Structure 1
Amino acid sequence: MAQTIEQLLELQLATLVSLSRLLEQEKAAIVERKATDIARLATDKLALINQVQQQDHLIASHTQRQQLTDNPELAQKVESIKATVNRCKEINEVNGEALQRAQLSFHKLNNLFQQSRGKQQMTYNSEGVAQNIRSLGTNIKA
């Protein structure tokens, strides 16, 4: 039995509400820097987005799709769906920016560690020129 256009709209809205909740969880995981949660949530997010796309395709190809504009109740549901999509986009954008900042911070910290490690391996030759020596003390044969 085929689903009615009303059922498809309800399903679409429910999926988008789930996506919105998941994006809020993702935001919390980013703030708390829980990498395993971020990875899991990203996978779940992709699955929900695929569901939304499939549902959208079913709605667009439904025989009763003209009712989406003709029926005021259905038109209101469509507006609610659009508002939820926009909210999801905004949250996702914020999460993306937060992830980029976190990645930039990580790279800066990593560079500081690299520089620090390099300074510990620095020595001076007989002319007073600084050199990075990786084998300092490892080639002694006493």
Structure 2
Amino acid sequence: MSTSIEQLLEQQQVNLTSLTALLAQEQKAIVERKSEQILECAQKKSSLIDSIKLVDHQLSVHPEQTRLAEDGDLAQKVSALRALADDCQSTNEVNGEALMRAQLSFHKLNNLLQQSRGKHQMTYTSEGITQNTRTLGTDLKA
């Protein structure tokens, strides 16, 4: 027995609603700097996105797929789902930017700590990240 198009739309609604809640949870974990929780959210998010892609594929190949545009109620549901997916995408982008800022702050703090340990031992990598070098010219064999 195949799944009806209405059931697929309902499943997609559940998936997107769950993703919205998970993104809010991820945002809170980022603000509170709880790395374990951020990782857990990322894993759950990946699983949910896979489910969303699967249901989307099932909708695209469904025998009654044309009803999504022709039936007014179904078209309205699809529109609401697209709006929800857009909200999830923008929230995910905000979370990504917040994570990037947190990572940058961590690198700056790490650089400050390295500088305080001894400026004479500090060099920069090709990526522009500071690193301590104990040998700094003392390991020459010439």
TM-score range, shorter-chain basis? Answer: 0.7 to 0.9
Tell me if 1:20 matches 2:20: yes
1:52-67 to structure 2, matched below 5 A, reads 52-67=52-67
- Whose radius of gyration is greater, 1 or 2? 1
Q: RMSD between aligned alpha carbons? A: 1.9
Q: CA deviation at 1:37?
A: 0.1
Q: Which residue type is aligned with residue 74 of structure 2?
A: L
Per-residue CA deviation, residues 85-137 of structure 1 (Å, 9 max, x unaligned), is 0000010000000000000000000000000011598xxxxxxxxxxxx6xxx
Q: What is the match of residue 86 of structure 2?
A: 86
Tell me if 1:3 matches 2:13: no
Per-residue CA deviation, residues 38-70 of structure 1 (Å, 9 max, x unaligned), is 000000000000000000000000000010011
Q: Which residue type is aligned with residue 62 of structure 2?
A: H
Inter-partner Cα distance in structure 2 for 1:11 and 1:18: 11
Per-residue CA deviation, residues 67-93 of structure 1 (Å, 9 max, x unaligned), is 001100000000010000000001000
Could you list the structure 1 runs, at least 4 aligned residues long, displaced by more than 2 angstroms after superposition.
none
Inter-partner Cα distance in structure 2 for 1:65 and 1:11: 16
- Give secondary structure in 1 for the equivalent of 2:118: helix
1:1-142 to structure 2, matched below 5 A, reads 1-119=1-119
Q: Which residue type is aligned with residue 19 of structure 1?
A: L
Inter-partner Cα distance in structure 1 for 2:120 and 2:59: 64
Per-residue CA deviation, residues 13-50 of structure 1 (Å, 9 max, x unaligned), is 11001001000000000000000000000000000000
In the alignment, structure 2 segments of 5+ residues that lack a partner are 122-133, 135-142
Q: Which residue type is aligned with residue 3 of structure 2?
A: Q
In the alignment, structure 1 segments of 5+ residues that lack a partner are 122-133, 135-142
Q: Which residue type is aligned with residue 88 of structure 1?
A: C
Name the structure, 1 or 2, with higher relative contact order (CA <8 Å, separation 6+).
1
Q: Which residue type is aligned with residue 27 of structure 2?
A: K
Inter-partner Cα distance in structure 1 for 2:58 and 2:68: 13
